[in-house]
Every structure is written in structure tokens, then in C-alpha cells.
């Protein structure tokens, strides 16, 4: 008896990938809310909406960074490499402040990051934990590939 082979098309893979990423974000947000006094989220529903927003903004900032990096990769010389590095840094760090402000505007007091530097440290801790968690989950996912097609 042969084993059934499941194939996924691109929209299915994207759906599963983004769903998993949002669930990772949601889990990280709620762990921080539960165990660290510098992160306070009013409800699960609010944390779910915040996870969706963070995922959208993370993907947009990474897309912008890749687009600008590819632009500078096409240019010759040291100056282009320098500008690529600077623009990458500005986008990747600056986008976190945009995310923080977007959360502040959309959720107000329902989502609070407090503590050192008016909550910036707490927010960066959450975002970096989300990014690291997504990488770990992705590595586990690809490690489970048995190579059969």
C-alpha cells in the first residue's frame, strides 16, 4: 500500500506560513504579557490583533529592506555597499519604532510596553524574540522534510 503524498501549492504554503507566523507572534506576546511586568495586553483578542499587525509590519519592513538592498547590490563600488549597510540598519531599526507607534495609535492603553526607555527596551525584546522564534520554528519545519517527493 503506497503512502499518500500531499502537495501544497504556493497560496497554501503562504497561508500556512503566515498563519504559523501569527501564532508564533501571538504566543510570544502572551508569554511576555503573562510573565514580564513591562508588557501589558488587555485581552487575548487585543493580543491577536496586535500579532496580526506586527506580522504585517514585520513583513513590510523586511520587503522594503530587501528591495533597497537589491537596488544597492546592482551598484558598483564601496559607496554602494556603505549605503546598503546604512539603509538596512535604518530600515530594520527604524521600522521597530514605526511598529511601536502603530501599536500605540491603534491600541492605545490596551497594549502597553513600559520600563526602561519608556518601553522601547520591552518592545525590542518582544520583537527580537518574535524574530528568533520564527527562525527556530522555520528551521524545525524544514528539518522535518524527509526529502521524498
How does residue 76 score in pLDDT terms, banded at 50, 70 and 90?
confident
33-68 pLDDT tens trace: 999 999 999 999 999 999 999 999 988 998 999 898
Residue 54 in domain: yes
Residue 41 in domain: yes
Residue 126 in domain: yes
User: In the chain, how many domains are there?
Assistant: 1
> What pLDDT does residue 5 have?
67
Residue 1 in domain: no
Residue 91 in domain: yes
pTM: 0.79
3-state secondary structure of 94: helix
Domain holding 109, by residue range, is 10-143
> What pLDDT does residue 147 have?
64
Within a 10 A sphere around the Cβ of 47, how many other Cβ atoms?
A: 23
Amino acid at each position: 500500500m503506497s503512502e499518500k503524498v500531499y502537495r501544497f501549492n504556493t497560496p497554501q504554503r503562504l497561508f500556512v506560513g503566515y498563519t504559523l507566523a501569527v501564532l508564533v507572534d501571538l504566543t510570544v506576546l502572551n508569554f511576555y504579557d503573562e510573565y514580564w511586568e513591562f508588557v501589558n495586553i488587555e485581552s487575548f483578542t487585543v493580543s491577536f490583533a496586535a500579532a496580526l499587525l506586527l506580522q504585517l509590519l514585520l513583513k513590510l519592513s523586511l520587503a522594503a529592506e530587501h528591495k533597497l538592498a537589491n537596488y544597492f547590490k546592482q551598484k558598483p563600488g564601496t559607496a554602494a555597499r556603505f549605503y546598503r549597510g546604512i539603509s538596512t540598519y535604518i530600515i530594520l531599526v527604524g521600522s521597530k519604532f514605526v511598529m511601536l507607534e502603530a501599536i500605540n495609535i491603534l491600541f492605545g492603553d490596551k497594549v502597553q510596553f513600559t520600563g526602561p526607555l519608556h518601553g522601547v527596551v520591552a518592545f525590542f525584546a518582544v520583537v527580537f524574540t518574535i524574530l528568533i522564534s520564527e527562525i527556530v520554528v522555520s528551521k524545525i519545519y524544514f528539518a522535518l522534510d524527509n526529502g521524498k517527493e
